[in-house]
Amino acid sequence: MGGLDAGPVPDDEHDYSLWEKRVDALMVLCSSKGHFTVDGLRRALEDMGEDAFEKLSYYERWIEAVNRNLIEAGVYTTAELGEKMEQVKARGGTYGEAARG
Amino acid sequence: MRTMAPPGHVRTPFYLRGKHGVIERALGPFPNPEQTAYGLPGEARDLYRVRFTMAEVWGEAAENPDDLLEAEIFAHWLEPLDDSHAP
Amino acid sequence: MPHDHPDDPFHHEGISPSGHPYRKDDDTPLSYWQCMEIAVRELLIEKGVTTPAEVAAQIEAMDARSPANGAAVVARAWVDPAFKARLLADASAASREMGFDIGTLRLIAVENTPQVHNVIVCTLCSCYPRNLLGLPPDWYKSRAYRSRVVKEPRKVLAEFGVTLPEDTTIRVHDSTSEMRYIVLPMRPPGTEGMSEAELAALVTRDSMIGTGLPRRPA
């Protein structure tokens, strides 16, 4: 996006929450174990398009990119993810309940 | 810098394509990200740091023409300036 | 991909002890993406790719990295010319020499002088010397910073409160591929008698990205 017009640089900063740190950790661990490369993550992020950049937060994009690369690498299947997400949702309505801590 | 714009993942910013720069330093060979991005083994490609003037990159729109911009560019995105066959 | 999930992911709620807003966290409704994080993590554990302890240790290691690490490197370079030469020759090796675990990060230090001021950006994504400075600030990852600093660095720096002389050349480094960068800022005047630790306290995160200058001694 170098050189495109844009407004002032935002001066807000936030502390990363636990789930964001976990996404970061999964990215580092899976790439260091050779399941994908940082280039694979960047490619997945780019393929998500402008819409995702506008609508999703940084680590929301990253977990989707990690997930895509893991499915492509054959670590688990889309169906396994779908089932697991249903189980997680059924545990409770908050992150703490669903993550069991 | 070459001007090609293929679809897919590359590490070459659009704003530098077709611009003239000088090599600041050679960084050595790295796996080609255009392959590793798709889960393929990356062939070794030479990577360079290339220096551009803001005047070259942005022309009349440059904020300060003498300021500099440097980026890492793989050899297959570079072509020699003294090549008389260059476009 | 489900762009249409109803959760608004971008609520700032409350202020943390460090003065930064929290994003919604444990006690707010589970979002689609948080649900995916939990599911991906549990699948990775079930498949034997990682363990809960390994994830926790990785978070702890990342939390332990902060701009103080980079500040210590800068202060050493200010007081030790031989170290500075090693830093400019190979910033990864020089950082390891000080005991920082920077993994496989390939780090280049770029030196500010009265003639040259360096600024770091990644226009393609958000590459940052995270193994030395910790995770990047939100603005570093913003569209505005990434779009503008390669074209109008002086205007962007002015927004950060930094105005440079016209005859100082700005060198913007776009971290497009394998290297990560750290700025070695100029040692402020009036710091001649200060210890290395006192000097490190003057080195701000932004001064190592190039959007700031070190503090002046009180």
Q: Is residue A76 part of a domain?
A: yes
Is the distance from CB of B15 to CB of B80 less than 8 angstroms? no
Residues 6 or more apart in contact with residue C79 via CB below 8 angstroms: C196, C199
Using alpha carbons, select from C153, C90, C94 the residue that is nearest to residue C121.
Answer: C153
- Residue B46 CA, chain-centre distance (Å), reads 12
Is the distance from CB of A97 to CB of C59 less than 8 angstroms? no
Confidence label for C183 from pLDDT (cuts 50, 70 and 90)? very high
Best of A35, A36, A38, A39 to disrupt the B interface (most B CBs within 10 Å) is A39
Best of A5, A14, A18, A69 to disrupt the C interface (most C CBs within 10 Å) is A14
- Catalytic residue list contains C35: no
What pLDDT, on the 0 to 100 scale, is given for residue C210?
Answer: 97
Average pLDDT of the residues in B76-82:
87
Q: Evaluate if residue B84 carries a pLDDT over 60.
A: no
CB-based burial of residue C23 (10 Å sphere; 0-12 exposed, 13-18 middle, 19+ buried)? buried
> How high is the mean pLDDT of chain C?
88
Prediction ipTM score: 0.93
Cα–Cα dist C189/C87, whole Å: 22
What type of residue sits at position C202?
Answer: L
What pLDDT, on the 0 to 100 scale, is given for residue C213?
Answer: 97
Give the number of domains in chain B.
1
What residue numbers bound the domain in which B60 lies? 15-77
Average pLDDT of the residues in C162-179:
94
What residue numbers bound the domain in which A77 lies? 35-99
Cα C170 to Cα A44, B52, C88, C167: the distances in Å are 33, 12, 18, 9
What pLDDT, on the 0 to 100 scale, is given for residue C156?
Answer: 96
Average pLDDT of the residues in C87-94:
96
- Catalytic residue list contains C125: yes
Using alpha carbons, select from B85, A72, A26, A101 the residue that is nearest to residue C43.
Answer: A26
Q: Is residue B1 part of a domain?
A: no
Neighbours of chain C (3+ CB pairs under 8 A): A, B
The pLDDT tens digits for A70-91 are 999 999 999 999 999 999 999 9
What's B39's domain CATH number?
Answer: 2.30.30.50
Of A39, A69, A72, which is closest to B33 when you measure between CB atoms? Answer: A39
Q: Is residue B8 part of a domain?
A: no
Q: Which residues in chain A touch residue C12, judged by CB atoms under 8 angstroms apart?
A: 12, 14
**Phi, psi (rounded to 5 degrees) for C148:** -90, -30
The percentage of chain C sitting over the pLDDT mark of 90, rounded to a whole number, equals 77
Using alpha carbons, select from C112, C79, C82, C117 the residue that is nearest to residue C186.
Answer: C112
Helix (H) or strand (E) holding B52: strand B44-53
Cα–Cα dist C120/A58, whole Å: 19
Instruction: Tell me which CATH code domain C67-209 carries.
Output: 3.90.330.10
Interface contacts (A, B; CB < 8 Å): 35
Q: Which of A85-99, B5-19, B38-52, C95-109 has the lowest mean pLDDT?
A: B5-19
Confidence label for B71 from pLDDT (cuts 50, 70 and 90)? very high
Confidence label for C4 from pLDDT (cuts 50, 70 and 90)? very low
Of A15, A48, A92, which is closest to C20 when you measure between CB atoms? Answer: A15
Q: Is residue A60 part of a domain?
A: yes
Q: Evaluate if residue C5 carries a pLDDT over 60.
A: no
Is the distance from CB of A75 to CB of C47 less than 8 angstroms? yes
**3-class SS of residue B76:** helix
Q: Evaluate if residue A52 carries a pLDDT over 60.
A: yes
**Phi, psi (rounded to 5 degrees) for C143:** -60, -40
What pLDDT, on the 0 to 100 scale, is given for residue B45?
Answer: 93
Q: Is residue B87 part of a domain?
A: no
Give the number of domains in chain A.
1
Q: Is residue B86 part of a domain?
A: no
Token duo for residue A78: 């889309």
Q: Which of A37-41, C9-13, C163-167 has the lowest mean pLDDT?
A: C9-13
Q: Evaluate if residue C10 carries a pLDDT over 60.
A: no
Average pLDDT of the residues in C81-109:
94
What pLDDT, on the 0 to 100 scale, is given for residue C101?
Answer: 87
End-to-end CA distance of chain C: 53
Q: Is residue B3 part of a domain?
A: no
What pLDDT, on the 0 to 100 scale, is given for residue C78?
Answer: 98
Of B15, B62, B72, which is closest to C178 when you measure between CB atoms? Answer: B72
CA distance C71 to chain A (A): 20
C16, C31, C92, C122: the catalytic one is C122
Average pLDDT of the residues in C65-71:
95
- Could you tell me the residue ranges of all domains in chain C? 12-64, 67-209
Q: Is residue B24 part of a domain?
A: yes
Between positions 34 and 93 of A, the ones with CB within 8 A of C are: 35, 42, 45, 48, 51-53, 55-60, 63-64, 66-67, 70, 75-76, 80-81, 84-85, 87-89, 92-93
What pLDDT, on the 0 to 100 scale, is given for residue C26?
Answer: 62
